[in-house]
Structure 1
Amino acid sequence: MDNQSYYYDYQLTIDKILDSGCTTFPNQEIVYRDLRRYTFSSFSESVKRLKTGLRRLGVRRGDRIGVIDWDTDVFLHLYYAIPSLGSTLHTVNIRYPPDLIIKTILQAEDKYLIVRDEFMPLVEKAKNLIPPGMKIITYNDNKEKVKSDVQSINFWDLIESNEPSEPEELNERTEATLFFTSGTTGEPKGVSFTHRDLVLHALSVSLVGSRPPINISSSDVYLILVPMFHVHAWGYPYVFMISGIKYVLPGKYDYGNILRLMDKEKVTFSAMVPTILYLLITHPDSQSFSHVFKRWRVVIGGSALPEGLARKAKELGITVVGGYGLSETAPVLTVGFYNSLIMNSTEDQKFMEQITAGTTIPLVELKVIDPATNSVVKGKKIGEIVVRSPWLTKEYYKDKGKTELLWRGGWLHTGDMGFIDDYGYLHVVDREKDAIKSGGEFIPTLLLEDVISLHPNVSQVAVVGINDEKWGERPIAFIVPNGKVSEDEIRQFLQVKVNEGRIQKWWIPDKFIFVSSLPLTSTNKIDKKMLRDMAKK
């Protein structure tokens, strides 16, 4: 009897995403600014030529390749080509200080570095730190060789002088990506993800995109405003290919140009942090693009979506939805789509739920616990958010101690504080390290910011705690005003919210500081560490 099995053990690898997209949607478009266009089919062939070029250059399985670039078609090629070789894509955070950029490249042990021309001065200054044998690949948009005193290989030659590669058999547990966290709560930590992690994450994000009020279909057009160096641009460089959706790449962020690109390419969907949404809807040219806003759906993550900003966006016709995740989770865990509990609710109730952190996407387990006892917290009581899903990072790179803290008890500890409401939606109220403990009780800064943001003359707000001899800590609010507003007006406004039951009276900040802008982290989140330093002066 013949016991031979011909079963094929199908592996969930990134090359399968590319093959599926170009097979089912061969004529769908990828657009890089006004410079280059591809069909899914021609993009796939270009990626396979690049794979051949990288392999001939010497790239081997297990090699790590750092990329220093904006949101470009080159970066998109590398999202597919590098993991499909069995190598690791290291997305370098270009908004780090130069010393930290080099530190992460060295820590990752990159063997190759792919650099856009305008970032070459950084590499030139650090050439004495670059390990012997590291190969530098450079490019510019006009495809000419980049002039530099550091020897380099022209990226475009790797595509244009090679034939498409043949498929390679890969194990889905192979490391596909590595990057370092934004460092908002300390030194950046390395996190990595496998092919299987990223494929399952992309499939789950794709599923919720079709649910109301997002309602994405293959006739939509994506322009994602999450930097490609940051947490896989929330997975959308893979989601669009799975879903067959036109994909527009903005390059370096220029908000006036982004508005024009949205108009020209008929963009209908974006994802971003709240700061980017604010900068777009308050841009001097924004009034000329009111017709664009009326068809636009936006998912907001990275930090909490203030209700005031959400309502301003709604007035412009924008459908805005909240979401939640972090670097360690690839990142998406929850999105503010409608579940069955609110589907038949009033429009205002739906709106209030869709701008929370959202409800879990498929294959995510999430609970809120008491940090002291690890027992589950219910009834809207605030606790720490812990999660499980099949795409979470397994460890912090070369840091056993922090890994054990991250995964204590078999759940990934987010370090975020929140609660789950009666409809099953998550409300993130603070980072554990940002929460203000005043008189033995917590003041949730995100909830307080949310209420302050509702004042018509407040554009942006951030609340931090400072030491207080009597109470331990007290809140201070930094406000970017929209027109004339005084501290007394803000206090009176907040007293009304106290009377309405929105906040507690003792939450009202002791001091209000009016500023022209708020400092941002490398991922465009408000930098509360810097604000705390400013508050001490």
Structure 2
Amino acid sequence: MMDTQLILTGFLKRAERYFPNKQIISRTSPTITHRIAFKDYVKRTRRLADALKNIGMTRGTKVGTFGWNHHRHLEAYFAIPCSGAILHTINIRLAPEHIVYIINHAEDEILLIDEDLFPLVEPALAHLKSVKHIIIMGDSLGVPTSSFPNVHNYEQLLQEADENFEFPEDIDEYSQAGMCYTSATTGMPKGVVYTHRSIVLHSIALGLAESFALKENDVALPVVPMFHVNAWGLPFAAINYGANLVLPGPMFTPALLLDLIEQEKVTLAAGVPTIWLGVLAEQERQARDLSSLRQIISGGSASPKGLIQAFIEKLGVPYVNAYGMTETSPLVSMSHPTSEMDNYSADELLDLRVTQGLTSSLIETEVVNENGPVPNDGQTMGELRIRGPWIASEYYKDERTVDSFRDGWLYTGDIAVLTKEGYIKITDRTKDLIKSGGEWISSVDLENALMSHPAVFEAAVIAVPHPKWQERPLACVVLKENAHAGKDELIAHLENDFAKWSLPDDVVFLKEIPKTSVGKFLKAKLREDLKDYEVPL
């Protein structure tokens, strides 16, 4: 067989040759939306590669991006790695000290920054050790006033660059193509490096029927940020498969997302559960036509059963859970039912849809505890471990590699069980699992059950110290607007599905639950805020 290299340049060539008229719909401000044909997108991408080369980008150069989901960010997705350099997508919602840390740790030499985000970065410029050039991405041709010596305008650079720039043909598929840092809840973020091979294989996997089933006639809306695990690989895959891409840009709202779905006939959208909770509430307030949607992909954290049920039964939109991490590119598993479940009842199917699903092709997973791999009994807990061709083998220049990568496996820190069908069901993070009187209690199961109550908008469950039982669960609840429910009602709502000893001892009502930069519940902050809380005896 031919030894052809799996590199991203092939995706660009394919888009240019076979899908020249497909569209990128890119919102860059509340009043500006661009419609760019793939053929013009590829020309702009070649121009960007030439422009970056002209200011010093060479093979192995780290180029950081600090931007929203839009066409300029998408141009960087290919211009940088196809030139042999490394795309470093920077989480714009990280704390300033974390942003400084990851730019310095990655040794970024060039930064591409959205015009409206430059004020967030400017105070940190004096602390950046390796950055030589900053490029401002925006619709204007100006640059902000700055003491930094080399600040360029993106569109100006493109005007002066060559649209016929030729990408090198001799890039090795195992060479570094991109990197992303985890959004750490404790300690500094950890860097994960992706290769051309891993991104290509992951992108192709998104076209499989068992995953996203992405294809040419799709209109894909990645709500998940392009700075977070490559927007789950959707931008790369859409260019390869010729699917139209809708990029929502800055400061979007649930109303805007619904408008985009209706106006652009979106067929597939991907985002975290908190996004879909907001979309559901807005759709109930003012309905839009969602008939084009064939699938909602949700990941990043567990989806409440009530949310999944509402999308499927009220809105008529299939809602599929997916599981992954920054370290896994991220696709690991998805909760599609199989043909063996054709006779399952609606409740049985819903129970499966709540899980993290069946392991994807080419990926291997195990749930292990001190006794080895756990049985498919839905009860025995263990830590999920993963290996495969798009799973990281180490953290970038980080001694914490030894904690997570052992014996050829990534140990995720996620506690899971396996259903009788072999579906993965995450029950907790190792650090969030509640141990009470020698028994393990899943905070995730309690949270999902609480969020199935009609009055509950969000719920997080944490462990609090207890003098007798070591730890006890405490429920932190945000009620829906104008809704009412008390502690006794919410505890009673759980009683049919949980043993009495696993029920929360108390309920704290909050205005909002703190979240990480990518929308996950920030339980470390909750535990800190409630560290002096005493569970009623």
Task: Give yes or no for TM over 0.5.
Answer: yes
Question: Cα 1:534–1:410, aligned 2, differ >3 Å: closer, same or farther?
Answer: same
- Runs of 5+ in structure 1 lacking a partner? 1-6
Asked whether the equivalents of residues 230 and 523 of structure 1 are also in contact (C-alpha less than 8 Å), the reply is yes
* Change in CA separation of 1:228 and 1:121 when aligned onto 2, cut-off 3 Å: same
Shift of 1:323: 0.8
For the 8 Å contact 1:357–1:427, the answer to whether it is kept is yes
Unmatched tracts of structure 2, length 5 or more = 533-537
Structure 2 residue 219 is matched with structure 1 residue 224: no
Whether 1:385 aligns to 2:380 is: no
SS at match of 1:137: strand
| Aligned residue among 473, 476, 489 for 2:474 | 476
Work out the CA distance in 2 between the residues paired with 1:348 and 1:216.
28
| 1:515 is the counterpart of 2:516 | no
SS in 1 for 2:420: coil
Superposition pairs of residues 282-301 of structure 1, within 5 angstroms: 282-283=281-282, 287-292=285-290, 295=293, 297-301=295-299
Inter-CA distance 30–56: structure 2 relative to 1 (3 Å threshold): same
1:25 aligned onto 2:19: yes
1:476: Cα distance to partner?
A: 0.4
Contact 1:290 1:316 in 2 (8 A): no
- Secondary structure, counterpart of 1:290 in structure 2: coil
The partner residue of 1:422 within 414, 417, 420 is 420
1:121 aligns with 2:119: yes
Change (3 A) 1:121 1:520: same
Q: Where in structure 2 are the equivalents of 1:452-531 lying within 5 Å?
A: 452-482=450-480, 483-495=483-495, 497=496, 502-531=497-526
DSSP-derived class of the 1:292 partner? coil
Assess if the C-alpha contact under 8 Å between 1:297 and 1:320 holds in 2.
yes
Alpha-carbon shift at residue 514 of structure 1 (Å): 1.0
Shift of 1:453: 1.7
- DSSP-derived class of the 1:520 partner: coil
Aligned residues: 520
Aligned to 1:360: 359
Residue of structure 2 equivalent to 1:244: 242
Residue 14 of structure 1 is matched in structure 2 by 8
Q: What percent identity do the matched residue pairs reach?
A: 35
Deviations 1:172-223, CA, capped at 9 Å, x for gaps:
01111112101035431111111101111111122136x7xx6654322111
Matched residue, 1:329: 328
Partner-residue secondary structure (3-state), 2:504: coil
Inter-partner Cα distance in structure 2 for 1:377 and 1:107? 41
Alpha-carbon distance between aligned partners in 1 of 2:193 and 2:522, rounded to the nearest angstrom: 25
CA RMSD of aligned residues (A): 2.0
Q: From the superposition, tell whether residues 86 and 215 of structure 1 become closer, same or farther in structure 2 (CA, over 3 Å).
A: closer
For 1:15, give the aligned amino acid: T
Taking the aligned partners of 2:479 and 2:513, their CA distance within structure 1 comes to: 11
Query: Structure 1 residues 133, 410: closer, same or farther in 2, change over 3 A?
Result: closer
Q: CA deviation at 1:148?
A: 3.2
Further displaced range: 485-494 or 336-345: 336-345
- Any residues of structure 2 matched to 1:72-471 within 5 Å, and which? 72-131=70-129, 134-151=132-149, 152-163=151-162, 164-169=164-169, 170-208=171-209, 217-255=215-253, 256-283=255-282, 287-292=285-290, 295=293, 297-314=295-312, 315-370=314-369, 372-380=370-378, 381-400=380-399, 402-471=400-469
Indicate the SS of the match to 1:282.
helix
Matched-pair contact (CA < 8 Å) for 2:86–2:176: yes
Tell me the amino acid that sits aligned with residue 269 of structure 1.
L
The SS at the match of 2:220 is strand
Aligned 1:56-75 pairs, distance under 5 A: 56-75=54-73
Structure 2 CA distance for aligned equivalents of residues 42 and 112 of structure 1: 24
The two structures have a TM-score, normalised by structure 2, of 0.92
Structure 2: how far apart are the matches of 1:480 and 1:418? Answer: 26
Bigger shift: 338-347 or 234-243? 338-347
Name the SS for the 1:35 alignment partner: strand
Query: Partner letter of residue 198 of structure 2?
Result: D
Secondary structure of the 1:19 match is: helix
Partner of 1:4: none
Deviations 1:432-486, CA, capped at 9 Å, x for gaps: 1110011111101111112122211111111010111111110000111130111
3-state SS, counterpart of residue 339 of structure 2: coil
